[in-house]
Structure 1
Amino acid sequence: MSTGNEARADGQGRVYQASGDQHIIEHHHHAPGWSGPDSVRRPAIGRAPLQLRDRVAEMDRLRAAVEPGASNGVYVLHGLGGCGKTAVAYTLFQHATTEAGRIGLWVNASDSASLRSGMLAVAADRGATDGELTGARSGLRPAADLVWHYLDRSDQPWLLVLDNADTPEILRDGGWLRTSAAGTVVVTTRQAAPRWWPSAELLQFGVLPRQDAALVLRDLAPHAGSVEDAAQVADRLGRLPLALTLAGGFLAHQVISPWTLADYGRQLTSGPHPDPIDLIDQGASAIGDGSRHLLSRTWQISVDALAAQGLPESGHLLRLLACWASDPLPLALLAGAELDPELPALRVEPALRGLLEHSLAELVSHGLRCLRTHGVLLDSVARSTPAEQRERLAATAARLLLAAAPQVPDRGPQDPGVTLLVPHVSALLRRTIGWACGRSTVEAAAECALRVVTAVHRSGDYAAALSLAGEAVHLAAASLGEENVLVLRLRLRVGRSLYRLGRFEEALGRYRQVLADCERVLGPDAPDTLEACLRLAWPLINLGQRAEGVALIRRATEGRTRLWGPLHPLSLLARAALVSETSAQPEEAEASETLIADCRRELGEGHSITLAAELDYAYALSDAGRPADALPHIRAAVAHLVQRFGSDYPLALNARSTLCAVLGALGQYPEAIEHAELLVDGRARVLGPAHPWTLYAQGLLDRFRSSGPPR
């Protein structure tokens, strides 16, 4: 018997030859079909921009990088999620493929699997064989080397875009990012740290200019309103391209009762819509529904990446920053930041570096080193902050602000770090109210506002002080009530700013109501009640009700003296006010001289209260018909105040006003005219030409010119 067999196998078949009984089990593994992207020749983006706005300088640089002969370049477009990096890359891609004679290759680099499959598809496009690709996919040969082998040998110049490369370590670990004489590479990423991009040219992208931001809205919803309407909505959206695109897409796709831009703006700020971020996200259907296209999620991608890198504290720091405003925040404020155990003090520095490197925040200079975070981003972060974390976050934010704001700011220019806190105290109050924080946390935020309002007022910026105080009253009273002591003090601050701005009638009405509330709630001799008495006196005197005003000053002086003694700074201030209004009476002359001596001894000659007392004394002497006695005092006061605060500081202007009156009373018109001209110019600059005190100064000048010798 012959033992030989003749057989033939086709396809995946096999021929087995054996003697004896055999049990053969065979498994057939069929290689899957193509699993890479459907195309690398077309940008894989949700919605192409109708028209790229702004970015002129960046596009000029990138167009030059794809001109004939240009190569070996890597350009990294980095910035906050939603700032339009991919739109710029898309616009460059279109230019390169339609006008610059290049082939375009587009790869999603958001994760390792997408990057790998996309780059192997690039190799296939450039001529790699099936066998080579199979070997690379199976790990039998280096995949990145294969891709760059074919890119380097491309018979056509190319542009390669690596989009959404927010985890640059996957580019580095695989050796996927290289340069080539055959083409140009563009990377879009949120990662700003230069260490990830050696030898690359970095181009940073931020928000759009106001006019261009408005045009983005108009491009998408041209019939929804005017350019100015669009600009106002753009401001509310922080001019972030993603937010603008979402809003424009929403307006463009409404069917039932379409909104105008003005309607949309009202809904964002004060409309019945429960969540502005949710309203903005409703436009996502116009540009694709991925998480990258939602304001409520785009930042979370970066936070998740940071957590995966061992920096969960970056997310906690971002939630703390969401308690404040998007305006520049002095970095020194974060020196004491701690949310133990989520954010221990030692981890604040690496947490902040993580935010900076992922473009969630940026460093800016405003006289001080500051941190800036986008407002829409902060609103979105605040919206998603877990309820159980909110109280502690807000309390920490208030503690840090209180540490930065002086408890008793002096008169004169303030530390720039204090004036930079203005938007942040308002934002903190809004956040504590919106988060329904407890009474103690809201009171801490109100205390922050009070300190900063006081500092701004004492710097001489009365309009800013009025704006901040008015907003703080509105916010704090909603939670604490009009008669809370901190709200009463903020209401007094509103009155003080109104008075300084020349709105005497309004100040009078405010003060009367606050005084009545203080007497009822705190008692007639409480410090805040006495402060209200003293403040009410000044609009009364300016409106011709001198007797009532002097009685209130006397009440405040006597009350403070009983509480703290005659040498307490607040007692000295009240005594100085009394001197300025009563030194015409002989029995007060000795008290005036004693006051000046007390101020010099207790506070020093250069203290602002001492200078104010000397000014009040000189005014009193002049008002009493003793200009010759007043002249040396007022000259000294003007010199000291100008040296200490500058010529335009309100107290220095008050002193110059008194000097003008004294010189005029003595008939020294040439010098009186010289000082009156300075006074009119200063009052107009600081208070405006229509302010009562500016008009009074102009009246003095006119009188001196008509009374003095011809000029």
Structure 2
Amino acid sequence: MSDPMPIDGRASGQGRVFQTGGDQYIEEHHHHYGAGTGPGTGSLLAPQPVGPRPPQGATAPDSVRVPLVARVPGILRDRADLMERLRAAVTGPGGDVHVLHGLGGCGKTAVAHTLFTEAVRDRGRVGLWVNASERISLRAGMLAVAGDRGATTGELAAAASGQRAAADLVWHYLDHSAQRWLLVLDNADDPTVLEEGGWLRTSPLGTVLVTTRHATSPLWRGAGAARHPVGVLPEADAAQVLCDLAPDAGTVESAQKVARRLGCLPLALTLAGSHLSHQLLESWSMDEYDRKLSEDSTALVDQGAASTGSGQSRHLVGRTWQLSLDALAGQGLPEATTLLRLLSCWAADPVPLSLLMPVARGEVDFGHLDPPLAADRVEPALRGLLDHSLIGMVEADGRRCVQAHGVLLDSVAAGVPEERREPLAEAAGRLLGAALPPEDAAPVETRTELRLLAPHASRLLHGSPSEWAARLAVRVVEQLFTAGDFAVALSMSLAVADEAERLLGDEHPVTLSARHIMGRTQHRMGRYTESETTLREVLRSRERILGADHPDTLRTCAVLHVPVAILGQVEEAVHLLRRAITGQRRVLGEDSGETLFSRAWLLEVLPRLGDSEEFDEEARVVEDCERALPPGHLATLMAHHNHAEGLRVLGRYVEAEPVARRALTERIRFQGPDHPQTLAALNLKARVAHGLGKLDEAVAALREVIERRERVLGPEHPFVTQNRQSLAEWQAEARAQP
């Protein structure tokens, strides 16, 4: 081939002349921003594209001027303070970034939509809405924003093909917009999508609002963003959401019950209300819906998605959390799924971090879970769940805890594969059992911890019914009783006893243990007839199944005397105690704590028979307890207390006074000032003072007893009623004195 003929040419202005020999492919793009107004002025000659080409399928959204969201709330409930702060930002000088963060389904997009609508309608702002959930939709949406603000077709084509810096192009046109604007970046749950392309910036002409589940990304700090947590609704507002959507389904009170069961989560409320308002074949009331929720809350709530046209994963309660877990797994944290599944075995109440410490320290091995949870992965997994708003950090009774939403836990638990449920439940049970205080721990030190652990033991039994879970729950109730938290112990014991009976049968030893502690809590809460009935049934069953001399049988025999004596059958109460003591001496030994405890009880009931001589003889149990038991043992505390009570009943007030003072001091030291038995000792001190004629001291002490018993036992407890009656009588005595 001969050499090509030379070509002479001249260019002027922004023209170009190219000369080549052979076949060449040349692309040329021109971008005109004006002098000094943007990057890359002039032309860019690129024989090959600059940088990586964008993913295929990055088509522009149908609109960036209209929020493309599945559901628009008719009325935005609550959120008044948050909306005021955001309105001020939109009407201010601009240049701000605001981040709405919180659990999926909490209504972040609803807040953004309301602000967007107001900004366009009332403030004259240009509203721009971009789906930032993934790279493709973000890039396409932001380029559409640039087109809306004036970018030419050629500029957009170059940016779309990777030959222009796309983010620079977009922000150039935002910075030179003829109108002020509000830009919403919705569902930015993976902040790296914004970070990698430099998409998150500020401009003096507008305000950026981001919605995300990721609460703690360094990107928010780097952008100087103001962060706003978005949580669940207050109960009254949550109920009103249901009434807004289904006004004919029931009363506000019924709506409150449904809202409470759904944890006041806006997503769940919206789906539930839509379901109630669009039924054809059935027409459930709020109360009927509440009953149905107890069977399968997640599946039932998600049926409402069909009524809203929002069946995609992000708008289904049963799937929305999986998006965050998938993202965490993609970031190298598959253990976050295991940890959240572990939390789903427990209740939606605060979970003390101390429960997870044995795993983090390597004291227990959870390598058999799937995915495995190794010691050095607990902290990163926790951090990942926190960052994605799947759990939150809370403080409960001075303990650092984590907490997840109840609907989230229900849906996570429902999604655990069948073959993985038992290993998870057993792991949760091991951790819960290890966290329980030692049996001999002082009640004053255990009450708070036990109250935090109690709901998790109940949930574990309900969600993973088994003999070991029932034993664990009974153990928790027994410790709650010892700690003096009688109201919580009673509520839990009723549920545990019923579940144990359903699971194991009414004569299984675990069921009988549950009924035994239930009977004890019943009499402590003033339900004496119920207590007597319960304990008599347990005693008959234990006699038949275990035998008359089994320690459990003797324990029930001794405890039964309490409601029997209170109901006026004092002679039978003494008989029950003597029978128990005889058996315990033979089976457990003279110095057994249980034997001494039963003997100490005798000091309370013998004086009611008027037998002062036998009382003095049995009072030797005080010395026996001090000799055989460690300081602070409950039998010793009971012996001192009942010795003083017996002396008072016998009218020996001078002898009773120093013993009563000692009993009160010991109760405060070992059981705490608000333990019900400490308050009983304070009540005893007041009655001894009254017997000695010290009316002012007696009245002052009894007033304190009433105030504290109302707080601990409730204003309707029989002890409180008796105290009020005594106070009125003593005050009348004091007024009658000369």
TM-score by length of 1: 0.89
Secondary structure in 2 matching 1:370: strand
Query: 1:59, CA displacement in angstroms?
Result: 0.9
Q: How does 1:321-360 map to 2 (within 5 A)?
A: 321-337=343-359, 339-341=366-368, 342-360=372-390
Q: Which residue of 2 aligns with 1:318?
A: 340
Q: Deviations over 1:596-644 (max 9, x none)?
A: 2232234355444322211112223333454333332223223333455
Secondary structure in 2 matching 1:629: helix
Distance 1:374 1:349 in 2: 20
1:422 aligns with 2:454: yes
Q: Which residue of 2 aligns with 1:628?
A: 654
Contact 1:64 1:70 in 2 (8 A): no
For residues 590 and 377 of structure 1, do their structure 2 counterparts lie closer, same or farther at Cα, with a shift above 3 Å needed? same
Query: 1:581, CA displacement in angstroms?
Result: 3.1
Contact 1:364 1:372 in 2 (8 A): yes
Q: Which residue of 1 aligns with 2:184?
A: 161
Distance 2:715 2:201 in 1: 65
* Alignment partner of 1:66 out of 62, 87, 90: 90
Q: Which residue of 1 aligns with 2:307?
A: 286
Contact 1:580 1:620 in 2 (8 A): yes
Q: Which residue of 1 aligns with 2:27?
A: none
**Counterpart of 2:457 in structure 1: which amino acid?**
V
Secondary structure in 2 matching 1:340: coil
Secondary structure in 1 matching 2:354: helix
Contact 1:412 1:458 in 2 (8 A): no
Secondary structure in 1 matching 2:99: strand
Query: 1:379, CA displacement in angstroms?
Result: 0.5
Secondary structure in 1 matching 2:356: helix
Contact 2:641 2:659 in 1 (8 A): yes
For residues 679 and 81 of structure 1, do their structure 2 counterparts lie closer, same or farther at Cα, with a shift above 3 Å needed? closer
Q: Which residue of 1 aligns with 2:666?
A: 640
Q: Which residue of 1 aligns with 2:245?
A: 220
Distance 2:552 2:277 in 1: 55
Q: Deviations over 1:312-359 (max 9, x none)?
A: 110111111110111111111111245314212221111111111111
For residues 657 and 206 of structure 1, do their structure 2 counterparts lie closer, same or farther at Cα, with a shift above 3 Å needed? closer
Q: Which residue of 2 aligns with 1:265?
A: 290
For residues 309 and 690 of structure 1, do their structure 2 counterparts lie closer, same or farther at Cα, with a shift above 3 Å needed? closer
Number of equivalenced pairs: 667
Distance 1:505 1:418 in 2: 28
Q: Which residue of 2 aligns with 1:250?
A: 275
Secondary structure in 2 matching 1:414: helix
Distance 2:338 2:96 in 1: 38
Distance 1:650 1:355 in 2: 40
**Counterpart of 1:599 in structure 2: which amino acid?**
C
Query: 1:365, CA displacement in angstroms?
Result: 1.1
Q: Deviations over 1:439-459 (max 9, x none)?
A: xxx233223322322233233
Q: Which residue of 1 aligns with 2:206?
A: 183
More deviation, 181-190/556-565: 556-565
Q: Which residue of 2 aligns with 1:28?
A: none
Q: Deviations over 1:153-178 (max 9, x none)?
A: 11111111111111111111111111
Query: 1:484, CA displacement in angstroms?
Result: 2.4
Query: 1:248, CA displacement in angstroms?
Result: 0.8
Query: 1:90, CA displacement in angstroms?
Result: 0.7
1:615 aligns with 2:638: no
Q: Which residue of 1 aligns with 2:616?
A: 589
Q: Which residue of 1 aligns with 2:102?
A: 79
1:233 aligns with 2:258: yes
Q: Which residue of 2 aligns with 1:399?
A: 430
Secondary structure in 2 matching 1:208: coil
More deviation, 570-579/622-631: 622-631
Query: 1:670, CA displacement in angstroms?
Result: 4.9
* Alignment partner of 2:675 out of 646, 649, 667: 649
Q: Which residue of 2 aligns with 1:572?
A: 596
Distance 1:683 1:121 in 2: 68
1:556 aligns with 2:580: yes
Secondary structure in 1 matching 2:303: helix
Q: Deviations over 1:533-560 (max 9, x none)?
A: 1110111111121121111112222222
**Counterpart of 2:653 in structure 1: which amino acid?**
P
Contact 1:410 1:455 in 2 (8 A): no
Q: Which residue of 1 aligns with 2:483?
A: 459
For residues 407 and 244 of structure 1, do their structure 2 counterparts lie closer, same or farther at Cα, with a shift above 3 Å needed? same
**Counterpart of 1:215 in structure 2: which amino acid?**
Q
Consecutive unaligned residues in structure 2, runs of 5 or more: 1-55, 360-364
Contact 2:602 2:618 in 1 (8 A): no
For residues 121 and 672 of structure 1, do their structure 2 counterparts lie closer, same or farther at Cα, with a shift above 3 Å needed? closer
Secondary structure in 2 matching 1:42: coil
**Counterpart of 2:252 in structure 1: which amino acid?**
V
Query: 1:404, CA displacement in angstroms?
Result: 1.2
For residues 256 and 589 of structure 1, do their structure 2 counterparts lie closer, same or farther at Cα, with a shift above 3 Å needed? same
Consecutive unaligned residues in structure 1, runs of 5 or more: 1-31, 434-441
TM-score by length of 2: 0.86
Query: 1:48, CA displacement in angstroms?
Result: 1.3
What percentage of residue pairs aligned between the two structures are identical? 49
1:372 aligns with 2:396: no
Q: Which residue of 2 aligns with 1:211?
A: 236
Query: 1:126, CA displacement in angstroms?
Result: 1.3
1:363 aligns with 2:393: yes
* Aligned-residue RMSD, C-alpha: 2.4
Secondary structure in 1 matching 2:65: coil
**Counterpart of 1:385 in structure 2: which amino acid?**
V
Contact 1:492 1:532 in 2 (8 A): yes
**Counterpart of 2:429 in structure 1: which amino acid?**
A
